[in-house]
Structure 1
């Protein structure tokens, strides 16, 4: 066990998050994972909020908790949560007896996000079909759109099959 080895280092206890949590190590993970999400096209604040909620033991946080943890304004959190909700990455839940909302990630958020993408792919293929018809399949632009259409039709078919295989795989594995 070495000081430079983050995996084997003995983490400090974080009483708010359960035994064995090291706040600094978790913060580094949140920023690193958020950077990966930003690199894939997610807005920066949404990526930080998502990574923070995902890394919380409860899988849920309030706006105030997110603001405090990320050292950002509630308005920044609000915009990020709106984006994440639209992408089916988080859900909102009211705290019983309170006006406060908790923002929640579930184990299936990736499934939901990809399922949402499937609907987008269907809309894109419809628009591309119209584009090919408008431009003419024999024109250079029409050929380019037809190739794009073919790609999205392929991805749409494969995504459906992939999601079905995921469900079989998930059910066959022991739950953590």
Structure 2
């Protein structure tokens, strides 16, 4: 792709072009790449006489790794306080205390993935407490389960779509409530006080459910566009 990250095959074609005596302009035309990309690539990797595709590709990967900032030392007390605050917020949304603590622990772990034993050690609780909490989170689609073949045990994972799935599950629940309320209104009679009440409830949850679905889809499109832009930016940085 013009302007994107150079692949190993691109670098082999650059090396072949140099061996054939092609000019930088001819090589850039062959690869459909900007001339500046070719000249910079060759200059930083041995020049026209010393350029080798394998070494250039490896050197680029090493430079990318070196650009990654070293993780800063974290204040253990501050992280613990943050996790507690996160759990309290989740409790206020209706989660049980243990379920909220498990969710907070997963979110604030860099890997976003822990086993039941990891969670039990981290939270200093029994495995049975963890089992109940992860069951509730799975039911609400806030986490997903993966099998770790190396350790032969399940891992519980928070990924980029965790909140999206949880939100969509909530929207589906609202749709079910709307359908139930409308059915109840018909059973009781839409002209009766109780029937009118259920009709209003049905209309409310139907409206909220549709709004939630639209908001979730808008977020997903915006998130995908942002991730694509980030990948393109990273690719340009390697040229």
Q: Which residue of 1 aligns with 2:118?
A: 65
CA distance in 1, matches of 2:142, 2:91: 14
CA RMSD of aligned residues (A): 1.6
Answering whether residue 111 of structure 2 is matched by residue 54 of structure 1, we say no
Return the structure number with greater helix share. Answer: 2
C-alpha displacement at 1:84, in angstroms?
0.7
Answering whether residue 156 of structure 2 is matched by residue 156 of structure 1, we say no
Cα distance, 1:147–1:57 mapped onto 2, change above 3 Å: same
- What's the CA shift string for 1:35-69, capped at 9, x where partnerless? 11111101110100010011001001111211111
**How many equivalent pairs are there?**
159
Q: Secondary structure at the match of 1:97?
A: coil
CA distance in 1, matches of 2:155, 2:72: 23
Q: Which residue of 1 aligns with 2:154?
A: 101
Q: Which residue of 2 aligns with 1:165?
A: 218
Q: Which residue of 2 aligns with 1:130?
A: 183
Q: Which residue of 2 aligns with 1:90?
A: 143
Check conservation: 2:141, 2:166, Cα contact below 8 A: yes
Q: Which residue of 2 aligns with 1:77?
A: 130
Q: Which residue of 1 aligns with 2:168?
A: 115
* TM-score w.r.t. length of structure 2: 0.63
Q: Which residue of 2 aligns with 1:26?
A: 79
CA distance in 2, matches of 1:92, 1:175: 28
CA distance in 2, matches of 1:47, 1:41: 9
More contact order relative to length (CA 8 Å, sep ≥ 6):
2
Unpaired runs of 5+ residues, structure 2, are: 1-70, 232-239
Q: Secondary structure at the match of 1:103?
A: strand
Larger-gyration structure (1/2): 2
Q: Which residue of 2 aligns with 1:140?
A: 193
CA distance in 2, matches of 1:108, 1:175: 17
